[in-house]
Amino acid sequence: MRTRTRRAAAVATAAAALLGLAAPGAVADERRLPDPAPGGPQRPYEPDVTGPRNIDTLSATITPDGGTAHGGTAHGGTAHGVHVAFDRTSRAEPAGPPAAARRFVFLFDASLRFRPDAFPTCARTTIEQHGVHACPQGSRIGRGTSHTYPEGTAEVYAFNTRHPGGTRGALVVVPAASTILELTWERVTPHYQRAGYRWALDEILPPTATPPDQRVGTRRFELTWGATRRTGDGRPVSFAETTARPGTELGIGLWSEFVTGQTVLPETTAVRP
């Protein structure tokens, strides 16, 4: 087993103390989970419904993207372009379909930074009217797969965007389901900063005409964040970068809230290769 770095161990210890984790990688007590990004857009209110308890797990990987590699960053050290892959699984206890989600908040290690300003954006209206293939070249910043319950899969795409009002964020699109989800970049609260995170992508799943207790959650959701492009002078630029040294374990988390009112926070680490 790879020996944890002192920094990763410190992060895990801080997270455990803050969130009541029994051990690194465990899921925090859902009754004690603070919201990582309470200042972002607010989801329309819906009362909690009776439903199953979800059991979520998370794994993550970090891989080089072949793009940025330069020194002299504002955070110190050398920045290297990377892809950050989330792989979440969810099941209901004791059985049956998992409860549907209200929000997902993707949590990124403090050594990760993002450069949405260096990539083209795609507007929601463009996708609604013309589909994902009408988005400007270079605006796709992620891709993945949604695994529906009880079986079946659908392609997932993520696009860099600027929301009305100027807020930077992303659009997660599942064309097969005609789904477009809006995400905003948020600085996490001090609680989560002390646990080793800095930036979060806050994703809201808006209410639908289907009653909450009849909505079905996904059994697995894979989404990799990252992209590269070349600037006008030919220099490569990465959407996601890290200043962590090779071999460092980076913290990754996924705070989730469901229609039942349950919140969970599976956490994991991914080694910077």
Spatial neighbors of 257 by CB under 8 A, at least 6 apart, are: 101, 102, 103, 263
Q: How far apart are CA 82 and CA 117, in angstroms?
A: 17
Q: Are strands 168-174 and 236-238 parallel, antiparallel or unpaired?
A: unpaired
Q: What is the pLDDT of residue 21?
A: 39
Q: What is the pLDDT of residue 44?
A: 96
Q: What is the pLDDT of residue 20?
A: 40
How many C-beta atoms surround the C-beta of residue 175 within 10 A? 15
Q: CB-hemisphere CA count at 13 Å for 162?
A: 9
Q: Annotate 109-177 with three-state secondary structure.
A: ECCEEECHHHCCCCCHHHHHHHCHHHCCCCCEEEEEEEECCCCCEEEEEEEEEECCCCCEEEEEEEHHH
The residues pairing with 153 across neighbouring beta strands, listed in sequence order, are 147
pTM for the model:
0.88
Measured between alpha carbons, how far is residue 187 from residues 123, 253, 268 in Å? 23, 14, 20
Backbone angles phi, psi at 31, to 5 degrees: -80, -10
In terms of Cβ atoms closer than 10 Å to its own Cβ (0-12, 13-18, 19+), residue 129 is: exposed
The whole-number mean pLDDT for each consecutive block of 10 residues of the chain, a chain of 273 residues, reads 39 42 44 88 96 97 84 62 98 95 98 96 98 98 97 97 96 97 98 98 97 96 96 88 95 98 97 94
